[in-house]
Amino acid sequence: MSSHAASHPQDAHSDNPHADYIGDKVGFWFFLYTELVLFGGLFLGYFFYHMKYKEAFHEAGSHLNVFMGAGNTVVLLTSSLTMVMSLTALQKRKKGLSLLYLGMTILFALAFMVVKYFEWGAKFSYGLYPGSEILQSSHSDGVIIFYGLYFVMTGTHGVHVVLGLLALSWMFVWVWQGKIHADDYAYLENVGLYWHLVDLIWIYLFPLLYLVA
């Protein structure tokens, strides 16, 4: 492997004369680092207030449905598996298999959002939402902050799942059309990286929100 980033063997296979495989990935990782800082700030806020309002976080967290949270963890982990399977299949020139795995990834992403819909729906029906009367009147500052963090963190994560869904669907079309193939798959790999990041964030969100109790 060449030590310099501008000339990678993959580039020779690409139809694009300006292809820069390592550059594509370095650039995408830079984007992922900005995401890390976005969520990193929210996590820091969580840790800070967790230290400050231990009991309240404990009490508020016990109202979340561990079963749904754990179920969604399994759904996202499985979607990460099908995502890498899709990339491996494409690299091994198995286009049909790659599309099958990519389609499964999209279905798991949808399943995650359906569970989220029921979870948030249940909270709303109990009158638990940012600025709700029940939260403002009958609870401590710690509980209000816990639910504030809960909705902002799972909401920001949910937005990423939806964007990931769109990106995955876009990649599905491109693999289908043959725009992405075994010799030029940086797009699929990068969307995969984004999808794994969404999974990574959930790996931390799940214990922090659902299991602190």
Partner 1 sequence: MGSHEQSHDHDHHIIGYGTHLVIYFGLLLLTGLTVAVARVNLGELNLWVAMLVATFKAALVILYFMHMKYEHKLIQFLFVIALLALFLPYGAVFIDYLHR
Q: Judged by CB, which is closer to partner 1: 40, or 130?
A: 40
Binding segment for partner 1 among 2-10, 105-113, 116-124, 128-136 (CB under 8 A)? 2-10
**Ordered DSSP codes for 106-150:** HHHHHHHHHHHHHHHHHHHHTT-STT-HHHHHHS-HHHHHHHHHH
Question: Are the C-beta atoms of residues 47 and 187 closer than 8 Å to each other?
Answer: no
Q: In the chain, what is the straight-line distance between the N-terminal and C-terminal CA atoms, in Å?
A: 50
Decide: is 88 part of the binding site for partner 1 (CB under 8 A): yes
Decide: is 73 part of the binding site for partner 1 (CB under 8 A): yes
3 state DSSP class of 184? strand
Decide: is 14 part of the binding site for partner 1 (CB under 8 A): no
Decide: is 74 part of the binding site for partner 1 (CB under 8 A): yes
Decide: is 211 part of the binding site for partner 1 (CB under 8 A): yes
Helices (H), the chain: 9-13, 21-52, 54-61, 66-91, 95-125, 133-138, 141-177, 186-210
Name the minimum Å distance from CB 168 to partner 1. 15
If one counts every other C-beta atom within 10 angstroms of the C-beta of residue 11, the result is 20
Residue found under tokens 């995955």: 168
Decide: is 85 part of the binding site for partner 1 (CB under 8 A): yes
If one counts every other C-beta atom within 10 angstroms of the C-beta of residue 96, the result is 9
Interatomic CA distance for residues 208 and 148, integer angstroms: 14
Decide: is 6 part of the binding site for partner 1 (CB under 8 A): no
Question: Are the C-beta atoms of residues 61 and 154 closer than 8 Å to each other?
Answer: no
* Contact mark string toward partner 1, 27..56, x via CB under 8 A: --xx--x--xx--x---x--xx-xx-----
Decide: is 156 part of the binding site for partner 1 (CB under 8 A): no
Binding segment for partner 1 among 66-74, 102-110, 127-135, 165-173 (CB under 8 A)? 66-74
Name the minimum Å distance from CB 36 to partner 1. 6
Which residues contact residue 58 at a Cβ distance below 8 angstroms, ignoring those fewer than 6 apart?
212, 213
Q: Judged by CB, which is closer to partner 1: 83, or 135?
A: 83
Interface contacts to partner 1, rule CB under 8 A: 1, 3, 5, 8-10, 22, 25-26, 29-30, 33, 36-37, 40, 44, 47-48, 50-51, 66, 70, 73-74, 77-78, 80-81, 83-85, 88, 91-92, 189, 192-193, 196-197, 199-200, 203-204, 206-208, 211-213
